[in-house]
Amino acid sequence: MKRKPIYVEIEMETSLERLWHYTQTPEIHSRWDLRFTRIEYLPRTSADEPQHFLYETKIGFGIKVSGKGMTSGSHSKESGESTSALKFWSDEKISLIRTGSGYWKYIPHSKGITFLTWYDYETRHGAPGQWIDRLLFRPLIGWATAWSFDSLRLWLDRDIAPRVSRTLYLLFALANVTIALTWLYHGIVPKLLYMETGELAMMKASGLFGGMETTAVIAVGIGEILFGLAFLFLGRNRFLHYLNIASLLALGCTAFVAKAAIYKAPFNPATTSIGVLALSLMVLAMRPFLPDAGRCLRQPQKKKHVDL
């Protein structure tokens, strides 16, 4: 089965020296890279000996995967371009990766640094391992690499520490899930399952649909379900949150015109809408400070790879 190597490239405004330090120092590297929980250099008997290291990744439920690696070479060109190449492997059966190799490349230019990586690996467990890698693991580890690169960019260029980035990202995800669940609930429960509890009456009171109120309630319910699902997959989209704010304001005005008395109820459209509207405002405010794998290039731009 043909494998597609993982490639990630990002632009940074930092210096080569600072970027090298943050990527080549194990205890710093493990802070920004989602792929590793711990990285540890092993002692060398001489400066000419390749640098060996241990790596470890916790995958939850007390389970961790560890392996070893070796820095197989690094060099700097007169232009300042530097490369750090490595090989890695794991003898643990739980590890899908058997052995692999790759490199990091640092390319200085007038506006900063182009930082990129290319790596590939062989899997274990035969054909099942290859399919798991192709369908799940390789896309996931590629995304984790790109997300981590942008997290490093935020740390170096905007002084936003990786721990802060991860906390903000969790809040961002929680906000989008909450918005999604709110729309899904309102689309499913009061409109599709129990429209007689008030939705149908409000639709009739509006006088807009002339005998087709039930169909209109169902259509609105389906629309709200689809809108809610969009926040689970497109929650970073700015327009989606603008649309959420506008929709909540419009629905609030419509409910007031159709049945103003509903706003006297304990849990009314105002109490629901204000909270969900505020979540969209929070997401819009957080967006510039969130790592985004989409900021990275995932295909090489006709660059030559390093022979390992």
Give pLDDT tens digits for 117-165: 999 999 999 999 999 999 999 999 999 999 999 999 999 999 999 999 9
The dihedral through the CA atoms of 136, 141, 142, 147 has a sign that is positive
Residue 229 confidence class, pLDDT cut points 50, 70, 90:
very high
- The model's pLDDT over 61-102, given as tens digits with 9 standing for 90+, comes to 788 999 999 987 777 777 789 999 999 999 999 999 999 999
Residue 259 confidence class, pLDDT cut points 50, 70, 90:
low
Going across the sheet that includes 63-76, the strands are 6-12, 112-123, 97-109, 82-89, 63-76, 51-60, 38-41
Q: Output phi, psi for 65, to 5 deg.
A: -120, 130
CB 247 within 8 A of CB 228: no
Q: Rounded to two decimals, what is the model's pTM?
A: 0.84
- Mean pLDDT over 244-259 rounds to 80
DSSP per-residue string spanning 118-134: EEEEEESSHHHHHHHII
pLDDT given at position 307:
46
Residue 2 confidence class, pLDDT cut points 50, 70, 90:
confident
pLDDT given at position 304:
47
pLDDT above 80: residue 258 = no
Question: Can you read off the two tokens belonging to residue 139?
Answer: 């896309």
Closest CA to 254 of 225, 228, 280, 220: 220
